Structure 1
Amino acid sequence: MTLPGRPRAWFRRLPVVTRLVLAVAITMSLVLAGAAGLVYWRVKTALDQQLNDDLSTYQHSLDQAVRRGEDLPPGPSGSLQQVLDAHGRILRSSDALRHRLLLTSAELGAVTGGATIRRDVGSLLPITADTLRLQARRVTAGGQTRIVIAAVRRGHRDEALRELLAQLALASGLTLIAASYVGYRTARAALRPVERYRSGAATLADGTQHLRLDVPGDRDDEITRLGHTLNHMLARLEAAAERERRFVADASHELRTPLTLIRAELDVALHRPRSAGELTDTLRSMDTEVQRLIDLSNALLALEELGSTDHLTRAPVSLADLVDAALAPHQRTAERAARDLTTEAAEVTVHVDTRWLRPAIGNLVDNALRHGHGSVRLTATVHDGRLRLCVTDEGSGFPPEFLPRAFDRFARAEASRTSEGSGLGLAFVQAVATAHGGTAHAANTGHGTAITLDLPC
């Protein structure tokens, strides 16, 4: 049903339940009106057919009597008769009619010309007295033209139709009320979870933490799926808020130290006159801290981007080429430190995101070169659709109490390692592994440290 502009805008402003009930009521009204109209038409057609049959039979008997010059026979109960000449004068008539002519001048002319007239006298509604159905036909009797009019009363037929109309109106009204009530209750029941979800969202807007909507677990309808979607959205929002909180907390915690050192260097440099050499040393110290700030910012931004990325861009790449590209920047560092850096990579193709996996491998190698000792070895194998990357060194290993938090942000094994670095390298490695749907594991081998990545490829 198409509504004009203004009613449509008014309709859209109504509450959803009201709109649903109105839609049900309007639709049911149309259906009931159509059904009632069909029933009324069928019953009326049957009653009219019966009435017309009686009228035609009576008309035939009157025609025969007029042709033979006999007395007019009686018809059905309450029937009327009238015989006119060609000029409309009444020759014979029922006592109930007296001298009332049943035909108009136009109808008289049409019948005289040979037409058959059939029409109703009186209306169904409002109720009127002497409701008739008449039929007029021209008859030739003894060489003269006669107009024979037969009429039967419609009282029983009209009463039956009025009773039918009343019953249809009552039944349709009750059905419409029941349908509207059922529609209202159904709409309220269907939208009750939506209202509950709205209240929950309002509670979240008020600052409530760890909020989840109460979604039934034994249903799979549209409203239930909406609830699951909202819960997923709430989880994502909570995770995003937690990432933001952690990012701010980590950044403020780690940026404080280099910024404090830079400020201290500047204060000392400005406190008294300094020689060119002292100023150069101060600038070099500040440059080191600035580079540390840059590295820290880049690491934090990379972790944040990994944490908020839904899908990695996997592409086929040669595993050997990937390992060589990741180790190339560290070969000179290993040579300067007189340490062996060896690789063993299978000649296979893997489907990974090289944008993230290459720096993760580089972080592992850099971590081993910076904090470990002896030879550094990288092995890369593929088995049952999983890529296994392992970097080992020959250092003293992690303290046992440090292993459970080795991949935490800013975690440092102070007992066995220097404070050099930001403490975000292994956190980045684990984030890359998690984004690929894999895991990262650190362990002491007895001859050093082994850090392993296990990823689907």
Structure 2
Amino acid sequence: MTLRGRLRFWFRRLPVVTRLVLAVAVTMSLVLTGAACLVYWRVETALDQQLNDDLTTYGRSLDQAVRAGTELPPGPSGSLQQVLDTRGRIVSSSDAVRHRPLLTPAELAGVESGAMLRHDIGSLLPITSDTLRLRARQVTADGGTRIVVAAVRRGHRDEALRELLAQLGIASGLTLIAASYVGYRTARAALRPVERYRGGAATLAGGAQNLRLDVPADRDDEITRLGHTLNHMLDRLEASAERERRFVADASHELRTPLTLMRAEVDVALHRPRSAEELTETLRSVDAEVQRLIDLSNALLDLEELGSSGHLTRAPVRLADLVDTAVSPHRRTAERAGHGLHTDVDDTAVDVDARWLVPAIGNLVDNALRHGNGSVRVTAVVHDGRVRVRVTDDGPGFPPEFLPRAFDRFARAEASRTSKGSGLGLAFVHAVATAHGGTAHAENTGRGAVVTLELPS
């Protein structure tokens, strides 16, 4: 792993507050460094401009005096001068540098070639003595060619810049500390609700019931929206857990009945010797209960597959053919029971999953034949891009208290508790409608019951 990769890995392992403070500190460091560099550059430029103006003025006055052969004029406070011949010998010099040439042989050669030299002696940091800025130029006089060197001391300029650096360093350091502290406090304050939510979630994971996060009602920011989202998720989790508990209880009840009957039939058969006819009757009874268990298991598996599958396999199919496929297996049952079974279907194509929609319509027809009286009517129409299937019977209808939970799993009206069925038919219909992006609705008409299945086509 590269150094950059190791740093990224290390940074990601830090707590969020630490990462935020580091990000603020790094950003502020860059900003303060840029600002300090700008201030230092502006001040240095102003000081250098003043120093160069003084040096240029002093150098020109020395050049004129050497050309005229007059006495060298005094310069600014702390200024120095030195006049050299072409061999580098000192002709005239200030007392402070009388025996020390200010130019090196290489610099002297450059000036003799006609170039004007500007050069600094000494450095800003570390601190050195006798820091100078000099200007050297070749001048032609009556006595021959001379090299005129004018120099001014940089002490005040360097001292001002060092003081500026110290002040910028102190100010930047204090600003960085203050910004980091403010960033830390801000991050802690911003993440405190998140930590509170995390504690609430941990309490929920520990088995707490009916837990809701304390979300302020007078705010609308990202954290409060997160709290509302988590509370909504908790509502759904609680509802899901309640449905699961109810499902397990109902499934246990529905499975217990056929198993108990089977056990009773077998116990009776084993209690004393039975004739062949009696044993055959017992086996038929056991077979019926086994088939009931198989039907119940298949219904549960179908519901689970519908709930867990991410999509349906839609395909164009004639609506008349689809309804006829669902209704045909029930026509003989309707004839034996003396019920009329009528269909009224639009002859048009719809885009649905026939694998699930056919048994859903079949369940509605089967319920109407078992619990209704008179005729059963199946209508299917397409309007505004939606297909509507209605199954109507002439029976007593649904008990009013049963309607709100008619599509729940194992929901059965009390009058039908002893009749054939598992209470999963309407739940299956509702699951098919939901998977298609549609709805299922049950109601009483005064003459019987009607169940409507509506979904996009």
Say if 1:247 and 1:304, in contact at 8 Å, map to a contact too.
no
CA distance, structure 1, for counterparts of residue 417 and residue 121 of structure 2: 115
Say if 1:318 and 1:348, in contact at 8 Å, map to a contact too.
yes
Counterpart amino acid of 1:250? D
Identify if the C-alpha distance between structure 1 residues 398 and 439 changes in structure 2 by more than 3 Å, giving closer, same or farther.
Answer: closer
Aligned with 2:91: secondary structure? strand
Identify if the C-alpha distance between structure 1 residues 193 and 312 changes in structure 2 by more than 3 Å, giving closer, same or farther.
Answer: farther
Shift of 1:326: 1.7
**Structure 1 residues 292-311: aligned runs within 5 Å:** 292-306=292-306
Shift of 1:67: 2.0
Describe the superposition over 1:110-167 as per-residue Cα deviations: whole angstroms up to 9, x where unpaired: 4344443322223223444432211222223225232221111223322332232233
Identify if the C-alpha distance between structure 1 residues 246 and 312 changes in structure 2 by more than 3 Å, giving closer, same or farther.
Answer: farther
Counterpart amino acid of 1:142? D
In terms of mean alpha carbon deviation, does 405-414 or 247-256 score higher?
A: 405-414
Counterpart amino acid of 1:152? V
Shift of 1:171: 2.8
In terms of mean alpha carbon deviation, does 123-132 or 76-85 score higher?
A: 123-132
Say if 2:215 and 2:224, in contact at 8 Å, map to a contact too.
yes
Identify if the C-alpha distance between structure 1 residues 48 and 416 changes in structure 2 by more than 3 Å, giving closer, same or farther.
Answer: closer
Say if 1:251 and 1:300, in contact at 8 Å, map to a contact too.
no
The alignment status of 1:91 with 2:91, answered yes or no, reads yes
Shift of 1:433: 4.7
Describe the superposition over 1:235-292 as per-residue Cα deviations: whole angstroms up to 9, x where unpaired: 4443443343233222211111111122222233333443333322222111100000
In terms of mean alpha carbon deviation, does 252-261 or 343-352 score higher?
A: 343-352
Say if 2:326 and 2:358, in contact at 8 Å, map to a contact too.
yes
Length-normalised TM-score, structure 2: 0.87
Identify if the C-alpha distance between structure 1 residues 410 and 95 changes in structure 2 by more than 3 Å, giving closer, same or farther.
Answer: closer
Identify if the C-alpha distance between structure 1 residues 46 and 378 changes in structure 2 by more than 3 Å, giving closer, same or farther.
Answer: same
Q: Residue in 1 aligned with 2:152?
A: 152
Aligned with 1:53: secondary structure? helix
Describe the superposition over 1:76-134 as per-residue Cα deviations: whole angstroms up to 9, x where unpaired: 22211111223333222223334333233443344344443322223223444432211
Describe the superposition over 1:210-238 as per-residue Cα deviations: whole angstroms up to 9, x where unpaired: 43434456766544554454445434443
Shift of 1:386: 5.7
Aligned with 1:34: secondary structure? helix
The alignment status of 1:455 with 2:421, answered yes or no, reads no
Describe the superposition over 1:345-378 as per-residue Cα deviations: whole angstroms up to 9, x where unpaired: 2345556554443322211211222233332222
Two-structure CA RMSD over aligned residues (Å): 3.1
Shift of 1:414: 5.1
Describe the superposition over 1:38-68 as per-residue Cα deviations: whole angstroms up to 9, x where unpaired: 2212321232222122212211211221122
Say if 1:396 and 1:416, in contact at 8 Å, map to a contact too.
no
Identify if the C-alpha distance between structure 1 residues 229 and 53 changes in structure 2 by more than 3 Å, giving closer, same or farther.
Answer: same
Q: Unaligned stretches of 5+ in structure 2?
A: none
Say if 1:83 and 1:93, in contact at 8 Å, map to a contact too.
yes
Q: Residue in 1 aligned with 2:373?
A: 373
Counterpart amino acid of 2:298? N
Say if 2:326 and 2:361, in contact at 8 Å, map to a contact too.
yes
CA distance, structure 2, for counterparts of residue 420 and residue 348 of structure 1: 35
Q: Residue in 2 aligned with 1:442?
A: 443
Identify if the C-alpha distance between structure 1 residues 390 and 12 changes in structure 2 by more than 3 Å, giving closer, same or farther.
Answer: closer
Q: Residue in 2 aligned with 1:197?
A: 197
Shift of 1:205: 0.7
Say if 1:433 and 1:440, in contact at 8 Å, map to a contact too.
no
Say if 2:393 and 2:450, in contact at 8 Å, map to a contact too.
no
Q: Residue in 1 aligned with 2:80?
A: 80
Counterpart amino acid of 2:131? T
CA distance, structure 1, for counterparts of residue 231 and residue 403 of structure 2: 34
Shift of 1:70: 0.9
Identity of aligned residues (%): 78
Q: Residue in 2 aligned with 1:13?
A: 13
The alignment status of 1:420 with 2:420, answered yes or no, reads yes
In terms of mean alpha carbon deviation, does 109-118 or 356-365 score higher?
A: 109-118
Shift of 1:19: 1.1
Q: Residue in 2 aligned with 1:69?
A: 69
Counterpart amino acid of 2:60? H
**Structure 1 residues 353-392: aligned runs within 5 Å:** 353-381=353-381, 387-392=387-392
Aligned with 1:96: secondary structure? helix
Say if 1:364 and 1:451, in contact at 8 Å, map to a contact too.
no
CA distance, structure 1, for counterparts of residue 444 and residue 183 of structure 2: 65
Shift of 1:10: 2.6
Say if 2:390 and 2:450, in contact at 8 Å, map to a contact too.
yes
Q: Residue in 2 aligned with 1:274?
A: 274
**Structure 1 residues 109-128: aligned runs within 5 Å:** 109-128=109-128
Q: Residue in 2 aligned with 1:245?
A: 245
CA distance, structure 1, for counterparts of residue 83 and residue 246 of structure 2: 109
CA distance, structure 2, for counterparts of residue 45 and residue 401 of structure 1: 91
In terms of mean alpha carbon deviation, does 276-285 or 425-434 score higher?
A: 425-434
Aligned with 2:120: secondary structure? strand
Corresponding pairs, count: 454
Identify if the C-alpha distance between structure 1 residues 168 and 437 changes in structure 2 by more than 3 Å, giving closer, same or farther.
Answer: same
CA distance, structure 1, for counterparts of residue 403 and residue 234 of structure 2: 33
CA distance, structure 2, for counterparts of residue 147 and residue 417 of structure 1: 123
Identify if the C-alpha distance between structure 1 residues 454 and 68 changes in structure 2 by more than 3 Å, giving closer, same or farther.
Answer: same
Shift of 1:3: 5.9
Aligned with 2:423: secondary structure? coil
Q: Residue in 2 aligned with 1:103?
A: 103
**Structure 1 residues 31-50: aligned runs within 5 Å:** 31-50=31-50
Length-normalised TM-score, structure 1: 0.87
Describe the superposition over 1:393-414 as per-residue Cα deviations: whole angstroms up to 9, x where unpaired: 3444455665565545444445
